Structure 1
Amino acid sequence: MSKKIKIKYWPNKPSINLNNAIVNLFIETEKKLMLKTNNKSHQYLYLDILNTITRNELLKSILHQFKELILDIIEINLNNTIIIKLHKKIRTIFIDRVSNDFLLKLKCNYAIKNNKKFNDSNNNLTDYLLIYLIFGSSYIENNVFLFETLYTPYNHVKILLENFIIQTGNIIIKQLIYNLNNSPNINKFLKQQNICNKLYTSNRSIILFLNNLKWQDLTQSYIYDIKSFYSERQKVWIISSKGMTTQYIYLSKEKKLQSFNQMKIVFIFWLETKDLLIPKAEKFIVQIAKYCLYCSISLFSNLILILIRIIVFYLNK
């Protein structure tokens, strides 16, 4: 007789249970960051350019700074509405703080200029994570995720935290690379600080790496993000036993449609039309193919019969 798997749910309101859940969550995540953080997905990360030690230190620093951020927000007693309104500013300030801490540990006087366009890649997952950690699951809107808000799985919040850490680290290194401006400067900086991944120790390898990332960002923005929006899925990064990888979670995206430009809306319309017409077109084509095949077989059979009769006729003569 198989045992039923007991699902662990996230607390739905501020309480001792929520505090304990947060402590356990951070301890579990910190243990994961001590293991493998190599990129095991089929996609590039700006984090890939760092060696393993530096990448781990950066991700652990993000987790540590995030603990302090949660405590600061609780201390100033912000409500959930204000957090949602200020989540972009909170995220920008947080990224600046972690970036400065990262460079300070490297004993580097270099300053990273914040590029706000890099801070929007995580959609609304950051403010959902903040609300889960500060107020509990009952403050999340209904129909945002697949499950009822009062029955939010513990692992769901764990995924959001891991995704936040990886995405934040990726943005920090992306900003650093774009601030350094060109491959010789990037190569020089990484080698001087002794933080470079051995795969990217030459200018040529860095150029190829950055070109692959630019192409990936372009296709992600104009193809995969729109397809994910259409199917109401959100790609998230997680830390598995093998390393960093991706998976998809359900996320309602009704509000995001207003921010799409005309080109993206046209692509969504094309996806809608494709889903409506292609099944019918496929059915029609299959029926036509069957009819053509039947006619071809009948014609071929009749031709063989005629040929046999002609042969028999001439043999009888």
Structure 2
Amino acid sequence: MKQYWPNEQGTKLNNEVANLFLKTKKKFQYNLSNKTNSYLYIDILNNSSKSHLFNITLKEIEILILDIVEIDLKIKHIQLLNQKILYNLIQKILKHFISILNYNSHKVFKLDQYKISYNYLKIILLEHRLLLENLLIYLIFGSSIINQQTFVFNNINTPKEHVSILLENLIITASNLVIFILIENFQSLSKTAYFLIKYKLCNKNYLSNRSLALFKNYLIWQNLIYLYINQPKAIYSARYKIWLISSNGLIARYIYISRLDDFPKLSRIQLVFLFFIEAQDILIPQIEKICLILGRVILYISINVIVNSAIFLIRTLIKKLYKTS
């Protein structure tokens, strides 16, 4: 029997939130390696460090919820300040993570310094409401406050699993942002490697400068392709990519969600790419049909030419043989 998330504030909602956090925390004991073809910045961490970072992230999310409840922040304020709330959450996770390492936090750049120039941040900033806002509403106010048009199911009948995957996605994405800031803080690959090795954070696959360089280059190209091709296509298709913690490792899935509000946020370049993608989807099947018809016509003509040539040749041979005889 499918279980649904509480639709209003109260003891039932508080208990569900506590159970969800406990259930999610237990998953951090799993193998947390990336099982997809996409790269994550947290791939550079070993399993122990990744689990440690996830625990910190979950703890900071819990503190954030308590703070919002304590100051009695209304839904309209959450919607208005969502990007700022996300920014503060990332900075607190980063500060918490670094403080445990006894690393000089003054050396770490702040998130806003990367806003303009990095494709990965452009991706996150375009999706910040999907990443955080809906989850905060579920955890603090219940499912009845969620816009009816946002998801494919009735908001009153929101499955518990749906809220769980939104929380896991936030944990993984927020942790990924933290490592993104740390990596970009270092001005050379050797300093990055030194930091990761010194504090015993590094995945053994990225111990050398060459492997780190390849890793960063893959991420640069991946973010570029996602920003200008995959993200516009996902918005057009009303889909959102989420990250989950499975028993075998980190996996990615798409969920259907209304993204009409994201269309005006697309840049001209993204819209141009989207136009070409959709034009391609329309034209390629038509071109394939034309090529198939042309292929059949050419094959038919070729067969007729070969058959007629063969008949002509046979007749010519027969005539020559007849004359000879």
Q: What TM-score does the superposition give when structure 1 sets the normalisation length?
A: 0.92
Gapped regions of structure 1 (runs ≥ 5): 1-5
- 1:304 is matched with which residue? 310
- 1:225 is matched with which residue? 231
Which of 172, 180, 188 is the aligned partner of 1:174?
180
* Matched residue SS, 2:7: coil
Moved more, 154-163 or 164-173: 154-163
**Equivalence map 1:183-202=2 (5 Å):** 183-202=189-208
**Equivalence map 1:141-180=2 (5 Å):** 141-180=147-186
Say yes or no: does 1:123 pair with 2:119: no
Q: Following the alignment from structure 1 to structure 2, what is the Cα–Cα distance between the partners of residues 292 and 102?
A: 67
- 1:83 is matched with which residue? 78
Say yes or no: does 1:212 pair with 2:218: yes
Q: Following the alignment from structure 2 to structure 1, what is the Cα–Cα distance between the partners of residues 110 and 73?
A: 25
Go from structure 1 to structure 2 and tell me whether the alpha carbon gap of 1:143 and 1:315 turns closer, same or farther (over 3 Å shift).
Answer: farther
Go from structure 1 to structure 2 and tell me whether the alpha carbon gap of 1:255 and 1:138 turns closer, same or farther (over 3 Å shift).
Answer: same
Paired residues of 1:137 and 1:152 also in contact (CA < 8 A) = yes
Moved more, 84-93 or 291-300: 291-300
Q: Following the alignment from structure 1 to structure 2, what is the Cα–Cα distance between the partners of residues 114 and 193?
A: 21
* Matched residue SS, 1:138: helix
- 2:118 is matched with which residue? none
Residue identity matched to 1:24: N
Residue identity matched to 2:46: N
Go from structure 1 to structure 2 and tell me whether the alpha carbon gap of 1:74 and 1:192 turns closer, same or farther (over 3 Å shift).
Answer: same
CA drift of 1:223 comes to 1.9
Go from structure 1 to structure 2 and tell me whether the alpha carbon gap of 1:272 and 1:210 turns closer, same or farther (over 3 Å shift).
Answer: closer
Go from structure 1 to structure 2 and tell me whether the alpha carbon gap of 1:269 and 1:104 turns closer, same or farther (over 3 Å shift).
Answer: same
Paired residues of 2:83 and 2:128 also in contact (CA < 8 A) = no
CA drift of 1:122 comes to 4.2
* Cα distance per residue 1:15-58 (max 9 Å; x no partner): 33322221221111111012211122212211122222111111
Runs of 4+ deviating beyond 3 Å: none
Paired residues of 1:122 and 1:167 also in contact (CA < 8 A) = no
- 1:261 is matched with which residue? 267
Q: Following the alignment from structure 2 to structure 1, what is the Cα–Cα distance between the partners of residues 197 and 282?
A: 54
Paired residues of 1:226 and 1:264 also in contact (CA < 8 A) = yes
Moved more, 280-289 or 256-265: 280-289
Moved more, 125-134 or 226-235: 226-235
Which of 48, 56, 59 is the aligned partner of 1:53?
48
CA drift of 1:316 comes to 2.5
- 1:3 is matched with which residue? none
Paired residues of 2:82 and 2:128 also in contact (CA < 8 A) = no
* Cα distance per residue 1:213-247 (max 9 Å; x no partner): 21221122122222222322221111011111211
CA drift of 1:174 comes to 0.6
Q: What TM-score does the superposition give when structure 2 sets the normalisation length?
A: 0.90
Which of 315, 319, 322 is the aligned partner of 1:316?
322
- 1:114 is matched with which residue? 110
* Cα distance per residue 1:84-103 (max 9 Å; x no partner): 11111111111111111111
Q: Following the alignment from structure 1 to structure 2, what is the Cα–Cα distance between the partners of residues 191 and 274?
A: 47
* Matched residue SS, 2:128: coil
* Cα distance per residue 1:51-80 (max 9 Å; x no partner): 221111110111111111111111222222
Q: Following the alignment from structure 1 to structure 2, what is the Cα–Cα distance between the partners of residues 148 and 315?
A: 87
Q: Following the alignment from structure 2 to structure 1, what is the Cα–Cα distance between the partners of residues 213 and 291?
A: 47
Go from structure 1 to structure 2 and tell me whether the alpha carbon gap of 1:304 and 1:113 turns closer, same or farther (over 3 Å shift).
Answer: same
Moved more, 162-171 or 76-85: 76-85
- 2:100 is matched with which residue? 105
* Matched residue SS, 1:12: coil
CA drift of 1:275 comes to 2.7
Residue identity matched to 1:259: K
Residue identity matched to 1:180: F
Residue identity matched to 1:114: K
Q: Percent identity?
A: 40
Paired residues of 1:145 and 1:250 also in contact (CA < 8 A) = yes
